[in-house]
Structure 1
Amino acid sequence: MSAQHIVISDPLYGQTTVNEPALIDLIESAAVQRLKEISMGGIVALLGVSPPTTRFIHSVGAMLLIRYLGGSVEEQAAALLHDVSHTSLSHVIDYVFDQVSTQDFHDIEKERYVLTTDIPSICMRHGIRFPDVLDERKYRLLEQPAPRLCADRVDYTLRDLVPLGIASNEEAVSMLTKLVVVDGRMAFADADTAAKFGAVYMACSSASWLHPRNLGLYEICGAALLLAFEKKLIDRNDIWGTDKDLWRKLVRVADDDAGVAALVAELIGGADFERVPESQADLIARAKIRWIDPDVLTDAGVAPLTSLSPAYRDMVDQYRCDNREVLFLRRRERHLAPA
């Protein structure tokens, strides 16, 4: 029997009591609970070199953000489910299946995976439209085409500020309070806050998704998994458990294959990387370039920040110039202690 209410304490959104049966049942579902063992950072979180934030914390956070902004129960449910099909080690799987630039393997597999879980029956029991609730594009607070603001991007950015050492929680909450909803979409109430958010968004990306060490570890882990797949040491059934399940399986199969063993040894040994010119590189890394162009509420309506602030437009242009979907790395002598 489900609880009659759940009290959630979150550093961004404070204490929230959830008493809607549909949301309680989804939070308590096996499929959503699995996300407690799936990290946002994948292999770099597992190795202890990036924040240990889980997809469960982020998914509940996206739900709370939509709730804070007055979104419907169905849109809150969609937020809870938006990452439910993330595989073990999260976006590492995109490196296996050559989808790095879009990082959408979990979206492609979403409906197929969810049909194997308890989610459809929960949705049907509570009158939540299924499979419509899986289509994030139907929910304007939850998802927007890049580079617009949406609950997904706002929550994971504000949540990472403290562990990445970019800003304080007080600063994160201050930005949160300046969000408004216009025609069903998010915007900031003023350009200064929008510019601050844009700057920390790109700083977070540089410190995590585009960090040379992280890119190198993703490539190596992806190569190890791909080799294990090709040699049928691992199959697709293995990627729908937890991060630790897949990692343990990869370490085990390394005993049977020298190629996998060499790559796993590099991961465990704390490989580190730096960006270099192409002529000096010993690893080519693929990346998804993330940037944001927040909408701002003005007297004339809503406008993207790049149209209002030449300084911010120049910052974005420089960031995009400095970062490409293919980056060149070289192994460093320094080693990090494995987790």
Structure 2
Amino acid sequence: MLISDPLYGEFEIDGLLEELIVSKPVQRLKKIHQAGAGFLVNSRWTISRFEHSVGVMLLIRQLGGSLQEQVAGLLHDVSHTAFSHVVDVVLENEVEDYHEAIFMDVIKQSSIPAILEKYGYEVENILDTSGWSLLEQPAPALCADRIDYTLRDRYFYGNLALEDIQKFLQDLFVFQGKLCVKTIERAEWFVKIYYQEVLDFFLHPLNIYATSSLANVLKLSLAKQILTLEDFLKTDHEVLQQMKASHDQDVLALLQQLHENVEAREEQENYDIHFRNKVRLIDPAIYHQQRLWKASEISNHVKAMNVSALERFEQGVYVKIINEELS
């Protein structure tokens, strides 16, 4: 199997990874939007959990990660529910980790353990993400997961030049098992890009509107037993169709508020929605004088960006709906 990725290039994939990619649990991720509900109000926001998961796998491979860690990278989002993190808003889960809490249960009830066992791997050993230093790291460190969703979204949605992405990837390397960069210039660049992602995009007024509105209709559908939590393991489209097929007038009225003619903006006075999400900070490690430093220890610019980001996360976003009528 030849995989061509816009960020990382072409890779020949076979054996275990190929079988996992074509498996039903991984293929399902093609129909789970990474931006949650955003595609309902902006048809450009279409990157899927599948594209991100394969990207994480390829980045780990490019960085010299083991086959086992590549597998863990490919599978790390298999348990994401329909509409990704919208379920965390539905369940009022502030740490946004519902998909992590159900991860092993979802995996064990799928075809994945049998595929792993065919190649001599035990599911518990290979999917314990705490053992993979490239795939996941506690914030604010760099890791393949954060790097891929940031670069991928900013490339497709934010007019980020591929040339700049390549410069960053060439600066990225592994030292004592940890991801770091060689220069302060690349560290500052990634911090800026990361906050464009988690502040300007995640907290974009339209994204907030879509998340809040869809969470409301999902809560109502759960309360009316139109949906169960188990239904969230279907695809985005399947869950939407299930709600529409209920013909419940309250549910249908709320769904009709999700369309591309919605206009919303940030406004602290007379706002309609106040939204806070998980604090996401970044402070890349820099290799300097034969040791690792936090970027904020060397760069006042990084330190200032982190202070500003924390203030914005703590304040949250105030959204005023300008128009939600279908034309």
Give the TM-score band, short-chain normalised. Answer: over 0.9
Q: Which residue of 1 aligns with 2:129?
A: 136
How many angstroms apart in 2 are the aligned matches of 1:308 and 1:79?
31
Q: Is 1:13 aligned to residue 13 of structure 2? A: no
Shift of 1:50: 4.7
Shift of 1:236: 2.1
How many angstroms apart in 2 are the aligned matches of 1:285 and 1:272?
17
User: TM (normalized to structure 2)?
Assistant: 0.94
Q: Is 1:81 aligned to residue 75 of structure 2? A: yes
Q: Which residue of 2 aligns with 1:267?
A: 258
Shift of 1:166: 4.1
Look up the SS of the partner of 1:266 in the other structure. Answer: coil
How many angstroms apart in 2 are the aligned matches of 1:334 and 1:42?
19
Shift of 1:336: 8.3
- Residue in structure 1 matching 2:314, options 299, 324, 330: 324
Q: What whole-Å deviation, never above 9, does each CA across 1:288-307 have from its counterpart, x for those lacking one?
A: 23231111110140111011
How many angstroms apart in 2 are the aligned matches of 1:336 and 1:323?
32
Name the % identity: 34
Distance of aligned partners of 1:264 and 1:144 in 2 relative to their CA distance in 1, 3 Å threshold: same
Look up the SS of the partner of 1:145 in the other structure. Answer: coil
Look up the SS of the partner of 2:258 in the other structure. Answer: helix
Q: What whole-Å deviation, never above 9, does each CA across 1:29-72 have from its counterpart, x for those lacking one?
A: 11111111111112212443452111111111101101001100
- Residue in structure 2 matching 1:220, options 213, 221, 227: 213
Superposition pairs for residues 169-248 of structure 1, below 5 Å? 169-248=162-241
User: Contact 1:110 / 1:134 at 8 angstroms: preserved in 2?
Assistant: no
User: Contact 2:40 / 2:259 at 8 angstroms: preserved in 1?
Assistant: no
Look up the SS of the partner of 2:314 in the other structure. Answer: coil
Q: Is 1:164 aligned to residue 157 of structure 2? A: yes
Q: Which residue of 1 aligns with 2:22?
A: 28
User: Contact 2:257 / 2:324 at 8 angstroms: preserved in 1?
Assistant: no
How many angstroms apart in 2 are the aligned matches of 1:142 and 1:271?
37
Q: Is 1:297 aligned to residue 324 of structure 2? A: no
How many angstroms apart in 2 are the aligned matches of 1:242 and 1:119?
18
Superposition pairs for residues 33-182 of structure 1, below 5 Å? 33-99=27-93, 101-182=94-175
Shift of 1:333: 2.9
Q: Which runs of 5+ in 1 are unaligned?
A: 1-5
Shift of 1:121: 0.7
Greater alpha carbon shift after TM alignment, 33-42 vs 74-83? 33-42
Q: What whole-Å deviation, never above 9, does each CA across 1:162-190 have from its counterpart, x for those lacking one?
A: 22224211211221111110111100111
Distance of aligned partners of 1:178 and 1:335 in 2 relative to their CA distance in 1, 3 Å threshold: farther
Q: Which residue of 2 aligns with 1:3?
A: none
Distance of aligned partners of 1:269 and 1:52 in 2 relative to their CA distance in 1, 3 Å threshold: closer
How many angstroms apart in 1 are the aligned matches of 2:267 and 2:138?
32
Superposed CA RMSD: 1.8
User: Contact 1:287 / 1:327 at 8 angstroms: preserved in 2?
Assistant: no
Distance of aligned partners of 1:134 and 1:335 in 2 relative to their CA distance in 1, 3 Å threshold: farther
Q: Is 1:256 aligned to residue 215 of structure 2? A: no
Greater alpha carbon shift after TM alignment, 27-36 vs 328-337? 328-337
Distance of aligned partners of 1:179 and 1:335 in 2 relative to their CA distance in 1, 3 Å threshold: farther
Distance of aligned partners of 1:219 and 1:252 in 2 relative to their CA distance in 1, 3 Å threshold: same
How many angstroms apart in 2 are the aligned matches of 1:302 and 1:38?
37
* Matched residue count: 327
Q: Kindly provide the amino acid, as one letter, of the partner of residue 181 in structure 2.
A: F
Q: Which residue of 2 aligns with 1:315?
A: 305
Q: What whole-Å deviation, never above 9, does each CA across 1:242-268 have from its counterpart, x for those lacking one?
A: 111111222233x2242x233212113
Q: What whole-Å deviation, never above 9, does each CA across 1:86-119 have from its counterpart, x for those lacking one?
A: 11111111111111x3211110111111111100
Greater alpha carbon shift after TM alignment, 145-154 vs 163-172? 163-172
Q: Kindly provide the amino acid, as one letter, of the partner of residue 272 in structure 2.
A: D
Q: What whole-Å deviation, never above 9, does each CA across 1:68-92 have from its counterpart, x for those lacking one?
A: 0110000000000000001111111
How many angstroms apart in 2 are the aligned matches of 1:172 and 1:87?
29
Distance of aligned partners of 1:49 and 1:91 in 2 relative to their CA distance in 1, 3 Å threshold: same
User: TM (normalized to structure 1)?
Assistant: 0.91
Q: Which runs of 5+ in 2 are unaligned?
A: none
